[in-house]
Amino acid sequence: MNKTFGPYRRLRQRSREIAFVSSASELLSWDLETYMPPKGLDFRAEQLAYLSGQAHRLWTAKTVGAWIAACEQQGFASDSPEAANVREWRRGYDRATKLPAALVEKFERTRALAREAWREARQRSEFGTFRPHLEKLLDLNRQKADCLGFQESPYDALLDGYEPGTRASQLRTLFQELRPAIGAILGAALERSAAVPKDLLQGHYPLAAQQAFNREVAAAIGFDFEAGRVDATTHPFCSTAGPGDCRLTTRYRETDFTYSLYSILHESGHGLYEQGLPAEHFGTPLGSAASLGIHESQSRLWENHIARHPAFWEHWHPIACRHFPELKALAPAQLTAAVNRVTPSFIRTEADQVTYDLHIILRFEIEVEMLEGRLAVADLPAYWNEAFEKMIGLKVTKDAEGCLQDIHWSLGDLGYFPTYTLGNLNAAQLMARAQTECPGLEAGLARGEYNLLLGWLRDKVHRHGLRYPPQELMRLATGEPTSAVHHLLCLRRKFN
């Protein structure tokens, strides 16, 4: 290879070195959420802080900036893999060098301790236990935003880390379109759902049977269990330690098998994306997801567009009956109606397809209020309860069903929630395009054959990694940037 590629080779090597450190942190975080003994928390927090600081120092070294500048001067072809990596290395370097290593370490240490405080607070439904931790994380996020810089809102600096190029003002415009449109759909959806008993699927579903059925479904849609596993935790997530090691987690309810099933389908969507990224590019932007809005599109697509379709239960009903004999009393159409039932609920992860985005809008508005200093953490529960009743129509009576229900704030992930709605929009848009471009797709899905859809997603989304920014990727995959049109059309067709 030409000597002029030397800086590029060194950058790729440094990027992979940082990925090794980060993957060790990822594995330690997964262990913290699943199997770590309680007394290991303080030491684990120090481990994670140390590793995050090491990764940060490796990336922000002045030599890295010099290598990036040399690559930019080299002038790689604009459509080349090298140019994409250099573009993203520049973006990451410019953000990282604005953050002091001490702040990065303190943030990681604080959120490790906050996770356990949140878990305890949620179990007790006692916000006071978590409050001081959230106050620290809010302050640290404000410090990060100040370091990163912003023009309109500190929210923009944080959001840019999850969904590059998106701003809070754009989200406000989007949500102003979505909120009334959802309200217009909701009435008819509630009326249709009223005929479906809310306890239709209530029964006794042994844990072992749920685990077996979930695994069978996840494997059928393409999740590779030779390169992944499933464990239980308080809040479901997908974690990737590296090529060939993708970890899914879920939680179970023995009275309702769909509680864990749709959680696994959601996390399997994330896992399919991770397993579809090019392993040869691990540690570089080309081996990374395009954005969280793209990542969420994969989980929401499998969870909602595939697994809530009538064809899904026509195929899976007899198999489900083998695992859960009491389902023999129900027809596939009844299962489909039950999993598509629309009714306002307290818990976001259990929300129906119509009201789900209202949960996201609420969290977005609260995060902006906190970051911009108009809402104190001490006032969060009361503010949440009032806003939730106004938005969703339910009166919150306990913190576990209110402001403590999601793990994200304990992770310091302010700016994350809007990517769920962006994921909904992207999922509907991608599904609509796949149906146009893949003759025989519907017939295959009815037979429980998912290779055609997964292959299309591999080609249009997974294999590119971060070669394209998220909106460019959506244009290439669907012919248009992300919009609410397909999502709302899908909801109207299903529920109106």
Indicate whether 248 belongs to any domain: yes
Q: For residue 451, which of 215, 223, 213, 211 has the smallest C-alpha distance?
A: 223
Q: Convert the pLDDT of each residue in 72-121 to its tens digit.
A: 999 899 999 999 999 999 999 999 999 999 999 999 999 999 999 999 99
Q: Can you list the pairs that 196-201 forms with residues at least 24 positions away whose Cβ atoms lie under 8 Å? A: 196/337, 196/338, 196/341, 198/341, 198/343, 200/330, 200/334, 200/337, 200/338, 201/256, 201/257, 201/258, 201/330, 201/335, 201/338, 201/339
**Separation CA 338–CA 438 (nearest Å):** 29
Please count the other Cβ atoms lying within 10 Å of the Cβ belonging to residue 124. Answer: 15
Same domain, 304 and 213: yes
Same domain, 68 and 184: no
Q: Which amino acid is at 445?
A: L
Summary count for the chain: helices (H), strands (E): 20, 3
Q: What is the pLDDT of residue 223?
A: 98
Reading the block at residue 105, the tokens are: 């370490």
Positions of the chain with pLDDT lower than 50, given as ranges: 1-4
Same domain, 33 and 173: no
Contact 348, 405 (CB under 8 A): yes
Query: Pairing mode, if any, of strands 245-250 and 238-242?
Result: antiparallel
Catalytic annotation, pick one of 267, 303, 314, 367: 267
Same domain, 131 and 187: no
**Separation CA 124–CA 277 (nearest Å):** 40
Question: Residues 222, 225, 250, 328: is their CA dihedral positive or negative?
Answer: positive
Same domain, 251 and 133: no
**Separation CA 339–CA 344 (nearest Å):** 14
pTM score of the predicted model: 0.96
Reading the block at residue 94, the tokens are: 């410019």
Indicate whether 55 belongs to any domain: yes
**Separation CA 76–CA 205 (nearest Å):** 57
Last residue of a domain, one of 78, 113, 146: 146
Same domain, 138 and 179: no
Contact 257, 335 (CB under 8 A): no
Q: For residue 269, which of 248, 242, 299 has the smallest C-alpha distance?
A: 299
Instruction: Give me the CATH number covering residue 127.
Output: 1.20.58
Same domain, 108 and 182: no
Last residue of a domain, one of 146, 176, 205: 146
Question: Is 350 part of the annotated catalytic residue set?
Answer: no
**Separation CA 335–CA 341 (nearest Å):** 10
Instruction: Give me the CATH number covering residue 177.
Output: 1.10.1370.30
Indicate whether 158 belongs to any domain: no
**Separation CA 381–CA 403 (nearest Å):** 6
Indicate whether 103 belongs to any domain: yes
Q: Calculate ∠ Cα 197-306-489, nearest 5°.
A: 80
Indicate whether 257 belongs to any domain: yes
Across the beta sheet with 245-250, what order do the strands follow? 228-232, 245-250, 238-242
Tell how far CA 20 is from the center of its chain.
22
Residues 6+ apart with CB under 8 A from 8: 67, 71, 74, 82, 85, 86
The total number of structural domains that make up the chain: 2
Contact 442, 311 (CB under 8 A): yes
Indicate whether 395 belongs to any domain: yes
Reading the block at residue 70, the tokens are: 């040399």
Reading the block at residue 206, the tokens are: 């042994």
Task: Count CA within 13 A, CB hemisphere, residue 284.
Answer: 20
Q: What is the pLDDT of residue 4?
A: 47
Contact 258, 264 (CB under 8 A): no
Residues 6+ apart with CB under 8 A from 486: 425, 428, 429, 431, 432
Q: For residue 246, which of 19, 23, 18, 12 has the smallest C-alpha distance?
A: 23
**Separation CA 496–CA 491 (nearest Å):** 8
Q: Which residues pair with 231 in a beta bridge?
A: 249
Same domain, 425 and 469: yes
Same domain, 142 and 184: no
Q: What is the pLDDT of residue 1?
A: 42
Indicate whether 160 belongs to any domain: no
Same domain, 475 and 403: yes
Contact 480, 327 (CB under 8 A): no
Indicate whether 154 belongs to any domain: no
Last residue of a domain, one of 86, 111, 146: 146
Range of the domain at 108: 3-146
Q: What is the pLDDT of residue 181?
A: 97
Same domain, 313 and 194: yes
Same domain, 141 and 260: no
Tell how far CA 162 is from the center of its chain.
10
